[in-house]
């Protein structure tokens, strides 16, 4: 779709950015982009469908199965590469009507009073070089899984 910001991102256009980890089984995986200070929450990933479908319920059975496998491999790779305690997943779908799932790490030492959905706010901050390095390590881990 021409007016979809995620479709535009996949074409290398538009306002959305992020470090591409890779493409597998009909999905694009990106690390969240750096903020205005040049830093990003380490281990915050987006899984986005290649095909423009708005919501989780719109995935085909094959896409849903592939998403489950990919999410599990990414979670294992994130834990192995970042030493996160947990990898959390959320499909919200309120902002952009193109399926995307958030995967984010919760690191050791995160205070217990930080809600699960704010784990990224307590995550270590990483510069672009660190994000690019993590993306390469995740791609290697996923490709080898």
Give pLDDT tens digits for 17-35. Answer: 999 999 999 999 999 999 9
pLDDT reading at 1 higher than 70: no
Bridge-partner residues for 28, per DSSP? Answer: 23, 48
Determine contact, residues 94/54, Cβ cutoff 8 Å: no
Q: Report if residue 89 sits inside a domain.
A: yes
The pLDDT value recorded for residue 93 is 79
Mean pLDDT, residues 42-50 taken together: 97
Range of the domain at 34: 19-57+77-110+121-145
Q: Report if residue 64 sits inside a domain.
A: no
**CATH at 25:** 3.30.428.10
Q: Report if residue 63 sits inside a domain.
A: no
Q: Report if residue 3 sits inside a domain.
A: no
The pLDDT value recorded for residue 19 is 95
Closest CA to 47 of 8, 79, 4, 90: 90
- Residue 88's contacts (CB-CB under 8 Å, 6 or more residues apart) are 103, 104, 105, 106, 116, 117, 119
Q: Report if residue 12 sits inside a domain.
A: no
For the chain, the domain total comes to 1
pLDDT reading at 44 higher than 90: yes
Q: Report if residue 136 sits inside a domain.
A: yes
pLDDT digits (tens, 9 = 90+) for 81-138: 999 999 999 998 788 889 999 999 999 999 999 999 999 999 999 999 999 999 999 9
Owner of token pair 């989780």: 56
pTM of the full structure:
0.94
Task: In whole angstroms, give the CA distance from residue 118 to residue 90.
Answer: 12
Q: Report if residue 28 sits inside a domain.
A: yes
Q: Report if residue 125 sits inside a domain.
A: yes
């Amino acid at each position: 779709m021409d007016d979809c910001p995620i479709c535009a991102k996949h074409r290398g256009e538009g306002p959305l950015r992020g470090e591409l980890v890779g493409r597998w089984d009909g999905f694009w995986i990106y690390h969240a982009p750096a903020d205005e200070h040049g830093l990003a929450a380490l281990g915050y990933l987006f899984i986005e469908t290649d095909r423009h479908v708005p919501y989780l319920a719109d995935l085909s059975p094959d896409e849903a199965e592939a998403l489950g496998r990919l999410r599990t491999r990414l979670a294992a790779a994130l834990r192995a590469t970042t030493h996160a305690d947990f990898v959390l997943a959320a499909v919200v779908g309120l902002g952009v009507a193109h399926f995307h799932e958030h995967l984010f790490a919760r690191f050791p030492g995160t205070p217990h009073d930080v809600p699960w959905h704010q784990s990224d706010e307590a995550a270590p901050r990483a510069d672009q070089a660190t994000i690019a390095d993590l993306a390469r390590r995740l791609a290697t881990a996923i490709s080898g899984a």
